[in-house]
Amino acid sequence: MVLTGLRGVGKTVLLNSFRSMAMQRLWGTGKIEARPDQSIRRPIASALHMAVRELAPRHRAPDRIDQFLGVLKAFAIRDPAAPKGSYAAHLGIDVPASRGRADSGDLEIDLTELLADAASVASDLAVGIALFVDEMQDVPAADVSALCAACHELSQTGGPLIVVGAGLPHLPSVLSASKSYSERLFRYVPIDRLDRDAADLALLAPAWREGADFEQAALDALYAAADGYPYFVQAYGKVTWDVAAASPVTAADVGVAGPVAAGELAVGFFGSRYERATPAEREYMRAMAQLGDEPVPTAQVAEELGRKPSSVSPARDSLIKKGLIYSSERGLIAFTVPHFGRFLRAQPA
Ligand SMILES: Nc1ncnc2c1ncn2[C@@H]1O[C@H](COP(=O)(O)OP(=O)(O)OP(=O)(O)O)[C@@H](O)[C@H]1O
Ligand SMILES: [Mg+2]
C-alpha cells in the first residue's frame, strides 16, 4: 500500500498506527524515513534487523535466525558508501556475514533476496513482516526501481512481507516512472483533508473524554480556520482548548485563539519551510503564490517572473528536491504544504 498526500494530512501518523496494528498481530516491523541522496541499503538493513529481532524470541530454530542475520550483515556491508569495518560492528550483528546471498552489490538482486529470506523467517512463525517507508518520494531513483522489483518478486511468490509507503502526491508518478508495473503493484490511497464530521470528531472526542463540549458556532469557526487539514485542526484546536475557560468552548474562544494559532503556524509550519529556501527559490514560490492556489503550469510561473522557463527551472527542481513543491501532472506544479500560497501572499514583499 502507498499513502499519498500533502504535508500534515496524517501520513506518518497512519504509518505508525499501521505499525502498531502489525505488532499487535505479532508481526515483525521496521520503518525507514527516506532521504534524498541516501541509498536505502543501510536503512533497510536496520529496519529488517529490527523486524527480525521482534520475531527471534518466538522462533524455535535459532540457527534460522542466525542464518538470516548473516545474510543481512552481508547485505548491509555491501554498501559502497559504508566505512570499511566499522559499520558491520555498528549494526550490532555478532553473526559472521555469509557469502553468496544478497551481497552482489546490485541492490535489485540483493534486496529481492533479502526480502525473500526475511519473509521466509516470518513464514516459519505463521506471521508476516511489515516494512514502512516514509517520505518514499525521496528514495533515490535507482533504489526505487530496486524496491519495486523486490516487491514485484514478493508479490509473485506470495511471501508474507509487505511494504507500506507514504509520500507526497507525486509519489505514484515517481514509482511508475521507475517501473511501469508499479501502478498495479501497490494499492494507492490518497489521504486528503478531513470532512466536516471527521474534523468535528477530532475536536469533540478528546473534549468529551474530559467532560467538555464545543458550541456549534465554535466548531463552525474552527472548520473555517483549519479547512479540514489535520495539522491545522490540531494547531487551532490546541490553542482554542488552552484559551477556553469553561465548557462549552465558544466561537469567542476561537476568535481569541485563531490569530495566536495562525501566528504559531506562520513561524513553525510555514516559516521554517520558507527559511529553507534560497532567495531564488523564494522568488519562484512567490510567483507561484500570485497565480492562485490551484496547480499552475511552470511556463506561467516563468512568465510571471518575466524570465525564460529554462532560467527558472533550477529553482523549480531544487524546490521539488526540498519537498516544498511537487509536479502534479506534466508541466503543472503545486505547493506540498496546504495554504502555503495564502501564507506567502500575506508576507510583506
Ligand atoms: N489521526 C490523527 N489523530 C490526531 N492527530 C492527527 C491525526 N492525523 C494527523 N494528525 C495531526 O496532524 C499532524 C501531522 O500528521 P503527520 O505528521 O502524520 O502528517 P504527514 O502527512 O506525515 O505530513 P508530512 O508530509 O509533513 O510528513 C500530527 O502531528 C497531528 O497533530
Ligand atoms: Mg510525515
Task: Give the closest ligand to the alpha carbon of residue 17.
Answer: 1
Say if residues 254 and 263 touch (Cβ distance below 8 Å): no
Task: Give the closest ligand to the alpha carbon of residue 199.
Answer: 1
Dihedral sign from CA coordinates of 111, 117, 119, 122: negative
Task: Among 134, 234, 241, name the best residue to mutate to test ligand 1's pocket (greatest count of ligand atoms within 8 A of Cβ).
Answer: 234
Tell me the residue length of the chain.
349
Residue nearest to atom 26 of ligand 1 (CA): 7
Residue nearest to atom 13 of ligand 1 (CA): 231
Q: 287 and 269 in one domain? A: no
Q: 228 and 297 in one domain? A: no
Banded pLDDT at 91 (limits 50, 70, 90): confident
183 vs 133, residue with greater confidence:
133
Instruction: Give dist(CA 304, CA 283) in Å, integer.
Output: 10
Task: Kindly list the protein residues that place their beta carbon closer than 5 angstroms to ligand 2, a single-atom ion.
Answer: 11-12
Out of 273, 294, 309, a domain closes at 273
Distance 106 CA to ligand 2 centre (A): 29
The label of the residue with cell 502507498 reads 2
Banded pLDDT at 231 (limits 50, 70, 90): very high
Digit-coded pLDDT (tens) for 181-208: 988 999 999 999 999 999 999 999 999 9
Weakest mean pLDDT among 74-88, 243-257, 295-309: 74-88
Residue nearest to atom 8 of ligand 1 (CA): 10
Determine the average pLDDT of the residues in 197-226. Answer: 98
Q: Which atom of ligand 1 is nearest to the CA of 231?
A: 12
Say if residues 271 and 249 touch (Cβ distance below 8 Å): no
Q: Which atom of ligand 1 is nearest to the CA of 6?
A: 25
Q: 70 and 186 in one domain? A: yes
Weakest mean pLDDT among 143-147, 247-251, 257-261, 345-349: 345-349
Cβ < 6 A, ligand 1 pocket? 5, 7-13, 230-231, 234
Give the DSSP letter of residue 277. Answer: S
**Per-residue pLDDT, 88:** 56
C-alpha 314 chain-centroid distance: 24
Residue nearest to atom 14 of ligand 1 (CA): 8
Determine the average pLDDT of the residues in 240-267. Answer: 97
Banded pLDDT at 348 (limits 50, 70, 90): confident
Distance 14 CA to ligand 1 centre (A): 8
Q: Which atom of ligand 1 is nearest to the CA of 167?
A: 25
Q: Which of 9, 155, 125 is nearest to 58 (CA)?
A: 125
In the chain, the percentage of residues whose pLDDT exceeds 70 is 97
Distance 180 CA to ligand 2 centre (A): 26
Q: 150 and 53 in one domain? A: yes
Instruction: Give dist(CA 205, CA 210) in Å, integer.
Output: 9
Task: Give the closest ligand to the alpha carbon of residue 191.
Answer: 1
Which CATH number covers residue 293?
Answer: 1.10.10.10
Q: Which atom of ligand 1 is nearest to the CA of 234?
A: 31
Instruction: Give dist(CA 120, CA 118) in Å, integer.
Output: 5
Q: 265 and 289 in one domain? A: no
Largest CA distance in the chain: 69
Task: Among 6, 137, 231, name the best residue to mutate to test ligand 1's pocket (greatest count of ligand atoms within 8 A of Cβ).
Answer: 231
Tell me the whole-structure pTM to 2 decimals: 0.93
Distance 271 CA to ligand 1 centre (A): 18
Domain that includes residue 241, residue range: 196-273
Q: 242 and 126 in one domain? A: no
Query: How many domains does the chain contain in total?
Result: 3
Distance 336 CA to ligand 1 centre (A): 14
Out of 273, 301, 317, a domain closes at 273
Which CATH number covers residue 65?
Answer: 3.40.50
C-alpha grid cell, residue 141: 531513483
Q: 244 and 331 in one domain? A: no
Packed helices 41-55 and 107-124: angle between N→C axes, nearest 10 degrees: 10
Q: 147 and 113 in one domain? A: yes
Q: 201 and 182 in one domain? A: no
Q: 81 and 160 in one domain? A: yes
Q: 148 and 12 in one domain? A: yes
